[in-house]
Amino acid sequence: MNTTKTIQSALISVFSKEGLEPIVRQLNSQNVTLYSTGGTEDFIKNLGIPVIPVEDVTSYPSILGGRVKTLHPKVFGGILNRQDNESDVQQMIEFNIPQIDLVIVDLYPFEKTVASGASESDIIEKIDIGGISLIRAAAKNFKDTVIVASVDQYGLLLDLITEQNGATTLEDRKLLATKAFHVSSHYDTAIFNYFNTDETIYKQSIANGQVLRYGENPHQKGFFFGNFDAMFNKVHGKELSYNNLLDVDAAVNLINEFKNDGPTFAILKHNNACGLASRNTISEAYLAALACDPTSAFGGVLISNTKIDVATASEINKLFCEVVIAPEYDTEAIAILQEKKNRIILIQNEVELPQKQVRTCLNGILVQERNNITDNKEDLRTVTITEPTEQEIQDLIFASKICKNTKSNTIVFAKNGTLIASGTGQTSRVDALQQAIEKANNFHFDLHGAVMASDAFFPFPDCVEIAKEAGITAVIQPGGSIKDELSINYCNENKVAMVFTGTRHFKH
C-alpha cells in the first residue's frame, strides 16, 4: 500500500508570517490550492498569489471580532475525512466539502503576552481557539493530512515539499503530528498554569531540551530541559555534563545568598561548598576560599558574585577546575581562563529562578516552594546571657547562608568572613561536627573565636560542648527543641553566645 501523498490543497492560518513567504511560493509553484483567513489571507494576496477565503467555503464571514473564522464542518470535514473510508468519501461529495491536505498554523502568542504583563483581557484574547482545533484535527488525521503547528516547523516543511516535490510519506506526517501534539499540549499547559490556583495540581511543559553526554554515570542517559542559554552565556569549554549542571545549580543557589554583599567567592564540589570567603577584592576572596580546602577544590566549580579581574583569573588558572561562573569578566581575564581547553566559562545573567522545586520520588514527584528565606540580623534572637559581638553576628549570618545550602546534617564553622570547615551529609549531627573539626585541623585553621552554624536544633548539649572545647565562641541554630534549655544552660555556664533564627534549613 502506497502511503505517500502529494499535497494538492492547503489551509494557512498563522500568527507569525516570518518565514512563510518561501513556503507559499513553493506551494503555488506546485499548483497547490490555498485557503486562508484574515491577516494571512492578506499576506498571501500581497505576494500576488491566488488564495481562496475560508468564508467562500463556509458561506460564513469571520464573526465575533475574529473569534470564529475556521470553526465550521466544511473546514474540519476537509481535514478529518478518511480518504480510505467509503462513507467519508461519499459525505465529502454530498456536502461539497473541499479536501485539505496540509494545514499550517502558528498560534496566538499566549506565553509572550502573559510575560509582557498585559492586562487579563488582552491575555484572554490570546487564547487561540480555532488554531488549536485545526492542529488537533490535522494531527489526529495524520494518515491523510500534513500538519505544521508552529513557525519553528516552517523550515522543516519547506525542505520536505521542496526535496520531495510536494509529496510526504506516512513517517513525515506522523513526525509532524507528534510535533503538533507537543505544541498543543504545551500551549494548554501554559493556559492552565495561568488560571490554576490549586496547589495540589501540578503541570509543567518544557519545550526546549538537550541531550547530555551521559547522566550521573557514563552508563546512564541524561537530558536537560530548560533554557540554559537564557541564564548563562557560555564563552568557552566543553559541553556541560549532568553532574556539571547539578554543581552549577548548587553554586548559583549559594552565591545568590551573597548577591548584595561585598566581593565573595565560592568553590563547590559535589554540590557542597568546600571554600567560601568575602573580602575587599575578589582576588583576595578567591585566595581565601581556596585556602579553606585546596584538596577538594581540585576539579571543582568556582563562582563569584562580582566581576572576575585579571589578578583573580591568573590565580584561578593555576588550579584545575571544571567550571568558572561570574556575572562579568575583564576581557583579558577571559583570555587567561581560556588557556585550559576544556574549562567551562560561564557569564551568569539575571534570570528569575523557578519558585517551585521538583524531584522524582517513588512512582511520582515531589514539589515544594523554593526556600527563599535568608537569615539576617533582624531574625536573630539571642537566648544566652553572653551576647555575640558585632563581628560574630556577621560571621553567624555568613555561616548560616552556607549552612542553608549544604547537605544535611551539616555543621559549618566560619571566622572573619571565611568558611573554615564544614561537616556535610552526615547521619549524626555529632558526626558532622567532628568532621568539621577534623577538616579545620587538617588545614591548620585556628577555631578559637570562630562561630558555628547548624541546620537544625540541638536536642542535647553534646554538640555545643564539643564546639566550645574546639574554640567556638558563638552558635547560630533554628531552635525549637523541647530540650533547648540544655544547650542554652551549657552556653551560659561557659560564656558561649547562642542565637536562634526560628527557621530550619534542611537540605536533603
- Is 507 considered catalytic here? no
Q: For residue 246, which phi and psi values (nearest 5 degrees)?
A: -65, -40
Q: For residue 299, which phi and psi values (nearest 5 degrees)?
A: 80, 15
- Is 270 considered catalytic here? yes
Beta pairing, strands 5-6 & 167-168: antiparallel
Distances (CA, A) of 2 to 143, 168, 169, 474: 11, 11, 9, 81
**How many CB atoms sit inside 10 A of residue 14's CB?**
24
- The residue with cell 500568527 is 15
Three cell numbers written together for 366: 515531589
Tell me the C-alpha distance between 226 and 8, whole Å. 39
SS3 269: strand
Q: In this structure, are residues 106 and 126 in contact, taking their beta carbons and an 8 Å threshold?
A: no
- The residue with cell 528565606 is 373
Provide the edge-to-edge strand list for the sheet that holds 52-53: 52-53, 33-36, 9-14, 102-106, 146-148
Q: In this structure, are residues 130 and 69 in contact, taking their beta carbons and an 8 Å threshold?
A: yes
Q: In this structure, are residues 247 and 268 in contact, taking their beta carbons and an 8 Å threshold?
A: yes
Catalytic residue, candidates 17, 72, 140, 236: 140
Catalytic residue, candidates 17, 182, 186, 270: 270
Tell me the C-alpha distance between 362 and 237, whole Å. 36
Return all residues near 171 (Cβ < 8 A) that are at least 6 apart: none
With b meaning 16 or more CB within 10 Å and e meaning fewer, what string describes 89-122?
Answer: eeebeeeebeebbbbbbbbbebbebbeeeeeeee
List active site positions: 140, 270
